[in-house]
């Protein structure tokens, strides 16, 4: 059996739930040593248990990606990564007028400084180790305009730009850097959003959110994970500086 990531040390941020958890589980199935890095200890331990029960190799480490010194210390303690997945992030809803300076700072700290901290800490080890694969979680809002997503869109545009910059700067070090641009994916976040904002018509709004994608439904975390495995594996050795839409046609068919 060809395990695509056999023996690879994979650092996955935000792996305690949703897309990050699905990526970590799939990486474990493909033979990676999965390092679960998440501020949510309960979720991180859950992911750790799921991978361990399936026979995978896994470690959970509590980490707030917005804390630069903590990121650097942990990455140094763990040693060089073969794979880094910058998945941790938070959402924000509202246009520029509705976005307070405090909200903008919070999004900046997690969605922009978080990936920066991890890239800054991981790349020296990758260089010394002869290369590696980096996958950043961008979004369709990195490329298209969506109403009431000012701060979130700005942060994911930055992630897209960081992907290109890192890919360009580290070609000679054999470090590949790509990003995923998912559309709406059905996770616990979506369910919580509907429960909070549309408690009386959740079903109707779920259908509306699903219909936004031309394919007629939301994505599944496992579908994002399948593409993540490919891009971080030897099979994608010719791919760098690419931004993959995985959005049910939302970017190009609307």
Question: What residues are labeled active site?
Answer: 152
* Strand ranges (E), 99-238: 132-137, 175-182
Sign of the Cα torsion 66, 85, 24, 194 reads positive
Q: In residues, how long is the chain?
A: 254
Closest CA to 21 of 230, 236, 188: 188
Q: 3-class SS at 35?
A: strand
Closest CA to 232 of 19, 55, 8: 8
CB 23 within 8 A of CB 225: yes
Hey, which residues does 61 pair with through a beta bridge? 37
């Amino acid at each position: 059996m060809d395990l695509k990531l056999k023996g690879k040390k994979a650092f996955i941020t935000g792996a305690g739930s949703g897309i990050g958890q699905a990526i970590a589980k799939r990486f474990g199935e493909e033979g990676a040593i999965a390092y679960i890095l998440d501020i949510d200890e309960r979720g991180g331990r859950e992911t750790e248990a799921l991978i361990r029960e399936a026979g995978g190799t896994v470690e959970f480490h509590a980490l707030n990606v917005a804390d630069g010194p903590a990121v650097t210390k942990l990455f140094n303690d763990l040693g060089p990564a073969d794979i880094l997945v910058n998945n941790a992030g938070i959402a924000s809803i509202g246009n520029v007028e509705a976005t307070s300076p405090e909200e903008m700072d919070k999004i900046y700290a997690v969605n922009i400084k978080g990936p920066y901290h991890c890239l800054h800490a991981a790349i020296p080890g990758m260089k010394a180790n002869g290369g590696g694969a980096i996958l950043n979680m961008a979004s369709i809002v990195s490329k298209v305009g969506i109403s009431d997503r000012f701060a979130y869109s700005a942060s994911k545009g930055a992630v897209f730009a960081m992907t290109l910059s890192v890919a360009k700067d580290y070609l000679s070090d054999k470090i590949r850097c790509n990003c995923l641009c998912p559309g709406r994916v059905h996770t616990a976040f979506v369910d919580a959003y509907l429960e909070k904002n549309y408690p009386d018509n959740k079903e109707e709004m779920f259908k509306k959110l699903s219909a936004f994608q031309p394919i007629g439904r939301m994505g599944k975390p496992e579908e994002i994970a399948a593409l993540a495995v490919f891009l971080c594996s030897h099979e994608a050795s010719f791919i760098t500086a690419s931004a993959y839409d995985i959005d049910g046609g939302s970017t190009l068919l609307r």
